[in-house]
Amino acid sequence: MFHDTPEAIVERMRVLENLNATDRQDGTATFERLRQVPPATGRFLAIVAASAPEGAFIEIGTSGGYSGLWLSLACRATGRTLTTFEMSPAKIEIATATFEAGGVDDIVTIVPGDAREHLADHDAIAFCFLDAEKDAYQECYDLVVPRMVGGGLLVADNVISHEDVLKDMVDRAIADERIDALVVPIGSGLLLGRKI
């Protein structure tokens, strides 16, 4: 949490942290689980997003809205809004409740469906958090990077925990002359890129 985090957000984060922990232990099927980022990653995301240049904030993979709550803190600090994409109706229901409970439903918009069908409608992206199914990462990356503003920031989760499946995508990002990128060993491993 940050020093000035509203109590409603703190409370909803606690609810989701408990739900996420239970999910992992009670045999809930993988795709039904929240699979949300750990608090340290949330904190990192909020600090990075708050440092982004002028432009739009997007998130690919809302789940129950936990990382979205962290990003809403960056939105509050910088006067932005967040557009977050989610294809699971069950997760959209939880995330809708999250953003209402946190009092940030006026600054967070959930776009239902596969993000890959919507990303071409978004331009001037200043910050993107990519946290979807791994087989969609490369396609999302290819859609997002050309739509980012100079100095725009991209964070992709799970690049260490899912190193095998994401290796090609990470290697291509690090070699990509449009961005400067590195892997940051926080949580499940984050690719952090800055558009040149």
Ligand X SMILES: C[S@@+](CC[C@H](N)C(=O)[O-])C[C@H]1O[C@@H](n2cnc3c(N)ncnc32)[C@H](O)[C@@H]1O
Given the rule CB under 6 A, which of 3-11, 50-58, 85-93, 120-128 is the region that contacts ligand X?
85-93
The verdict on 131 binding ligand X (CB under 6 A) reads yes
Using CB under 6 A, pick the residue from 88, 96, 138, 188 that binds ligand X: 88
Name which of 147, 15, 126, 148 is nearest 74 in CA terms. 126
Which lies closer to ligand X via its Cβ, residue 94 or residue 181? 94
Q: Where are the beta strands (DSSP E) in 30-104?
A: 56-60, 82-86
The verdict on 136 binding ligand X (CB under 6 A) reads yes
- 39-78 binders of ligand X (CB under 6 A): 60-61, 63-64, 66-67
Residue 2 Cβ vs ligand X, minimum distance, rounded to whole Å: 17
Residue 171 Cβ vs ligand X, minimum distance, rounded to whole Å: 22
DSSP 14-47: HHHHHHHHHHHHTT--GGGS--PPPHHHHHHHHH
Residue 73 Cβ vs ligand X, minimum distance, rounded to whole Å: 14
Using CB under 6 A, pick the residue from 116, 122, 162, 194 that binds ligand X: 116
> Long-range CB contacts (< 8 A, 24+ apart) of 110-116?
110/62, 110/84, 110/85, 110/86, 111/83, 111/84, 111/85, 111/86, 112/86, 112/87, 113/85, 113/87, 114/85, 114/87, 115/60, 115/61, 115/85, 115/87, 115/140, 116/140, 116/143
Tokens at 38, concatenated: 């750990």
Which lies closer to ligand X via its Cβ, residue 67 or residue 83? 67
The verdict on 138 binding ligand X (CB under 6 A) reads no
Amino acid at 127: F
The verdict on 37 binding ligand X (CB under 6 A) reads yes
Return the residue nearest ligand X (CB atom). Answer: 61
Which lies closer to ligand X via its Cβ, residue 151 or residue 165? 165
Q: Under the rule (CB under 6 A), what is the footprint of ligand X?
A: 35-37, 60-61, 63-64, 66-67, 85-88, 91, 114-116, 131-133, 136
